[in-house]
Structure 1
Amino acid sequence: MDFAKARFNMVEGQLRPNRVTDPGLLDAMAEVPRESFLPEAKRPLAYVDEDIPLGGGRFLMEPMVFARLVQAAGVRPGCRVLVVGAGAGYGVAVLCRMGARVVALETPGALVESLRSRLSDIEGATVVAGPLVEGWAAAAPYDVILIEGAVEEIPGGLTEQLAEGGRLVTVRASSRPGVLGRAVRLLRAAGTVTEVVLFEAGTPTLPEFRRAPAFVF
């Protein structure tokens, strides 16, 4: 398979027609090889326009959804970024290629060890292990927080780790079966957090961000 051609087609056929216009983001996604972040058997799927399951509740996010979230976050060189649920590390690699300084957070165990291996040569990336819902306060505040997956709720502790003017982007999962979630951007300014809906997305929910089942009498 000609991965370079597939990468070009992803940019020209999936990103540009869907209002992804940020030059730094387009350049980074044209350069970072998505196939390198997938198991050998799944590499032919690297540039399809859908989420690719990786196991352990993680997946490689659909290129268009990932790109529009990053664009909405306004990532620029030198930005301090926290990626929550960094999975295989593709998103971290793209953000680093854009010039960001990225903390990649994963749960302790095999996921984080695999992530460390994949990102060992990526300049600007720091891999840390801990509960996703708690973020990583040790390196806060962040200009951008990206949750790489859908969530049923956003913990207040995460928005507290945003700098003044900081943005958090993710997909809010729908509570209704068969209904798409909504990509959102949260902005922290003057001590308050406001939320804007960006677009609809069918992104899978990260297990760590599912609501605990409510007790019913």
Structure 2
Amino acid sequence: MTHSVQARTNMIEGQLRPNQITDQKVIDAIASVNREKFVPRSLAGVAYLDEDIPVGEGRYLMEPMVFARLVEAAHVRPTDLVLDIACGTGYSSAVLGRLAEAVVALEENEKLAAQATELLSEEACDNVAVVNGPLKEGLAAQGPFDVIFINGMVDEVPQNILEQLTDDGRVICVLNENGVGKACILTYKEKIPGKRVLFDAAVPKLEAFAKDPGFVF
């Protein structure tokens, strides 16, 4: 067994299964993606540790346990269209692509979007398309989406993002609530917003979703 395969197995058995990850489809999806390929070469040896891994340009791969719990909570179906916001180098899109019919990976950083395109191709993620564009705008033209997955902690999820959901769609994100990250599912059924808090989650913040501070003297 190669080092990376052993590290992935250790991550699943040591981090995911003991932390309430029970959906075998999610475990299989994570097990099938070479996480080490999506981090800088110098960090490949620590890609499977239980911490956020910087991938450059201010982006991170979320720690495996938090990421897996968010993916499991999304209940991605084989017929779902997923929007993966702030995909970074594409790891989250690769995993989501194993579960969904199709994934649109949105990344506003040109360099990371190019990397994601290349890496997803190498991982044979033929049902994932990378789009370079502003994170906070989403991609209404390619929606509506069954799942919108946001990589990182956000101060708020704009109304225009909620409006890109199907009627039974859901946003999976970590909301900043008074400095504490709360993993949440947001819905917009019949244009009525809903929120369910899942668990506490400390993940890096996405500045693109920072609240406008307003006028300051």
Aligned to 1:169: 172
What corresponds to 1:109 in structure 2? 110
Question: What residue is the counterpart of 1:205 in the other structure?
Answer: 205
Letter in 2 for 1:102: V
- The yes-or-no answer on 1:128 pairing with 2:134 is no
The answer to which of 93-102 and 135-144 deviates more is 93-102
Q: Residues 49 and 64 of structure 1 are in contact (CA less than 8 Å); yes or no, is this contact kept in structure 2?
A: yes
What is the CA–CA distance in structure 2 between the aligned matches of 1:213 and 1:60, rounded to whole Å? 27
- Percent same amino acid among aligned pairs? 48
1:188 partnered with 2:188: yes
Q: CA deviation at 1:214?
A: 3.0
Matches within 5 A, 1:18-167: 18-120=19-121, 121-167=124-170
Unaligned stretches of 5+ residues in structure 1: none
> Do the aligned partners of 1:105 and 1:132 also contact (CA within 8 Å) in 2?
yes
Contact map agreement 2:107 2:133 (CA 8 A) in 1? yes
1:69-97 deviation digits (Å, cap 9, x = unpaired): 11111101121000000001011111112
CA offset digits 1:94-135 (Å, max 9, x no partner): 111224310000115212112211122311001111110000
Q: Secondary structure at the match of 1:21?
A: coil
With normalisation by structure 1, the TM-score equals 0.94
The equivalent residue for 1:4 is 5
Using the alignment, how far apart are the partners of 2:106 and 2:21 within structure 1?
Answer: 26
CA RMSD of aligned residues (A): 1.3
Size of the aligned set, in residue pairs, is 214
- 1:174/1:181 contact within 8 Å kept: yes
The letter of the residue matching 2:155 is E
Which consecutive residues of structure 2, in runs of 5 or more, have no partner in the other structure? Answer: none
Deviations 1:32-79 (A, max 9, x none): 110011111000111111111122121011111111111111101121
Query: Given residue 146 of structure 1, which amino acid in structure 2 is its aligned partner?
Result: F
The answer to whether the Cα contact below 8 Å between 2:39 and 2:54 also exists between their aligned partners in 1 is: no
Whether the 8 Å CA contact 1:107–1:131 is kept in 2: the answer is yes
**Helix, strand or coil at the partner of 2:130:** strand
Give, as a single letter, the amino acid of the residue that structure 1 aligns with 2:33.
V
The 8 Å contact of residues 181 and 201 in structure 1, kept in 2 or not, is answered as yes
For 1:216 and 1:175, locate their aligned partners in 2 and report how far apart those are by CA, in whole Å: 20
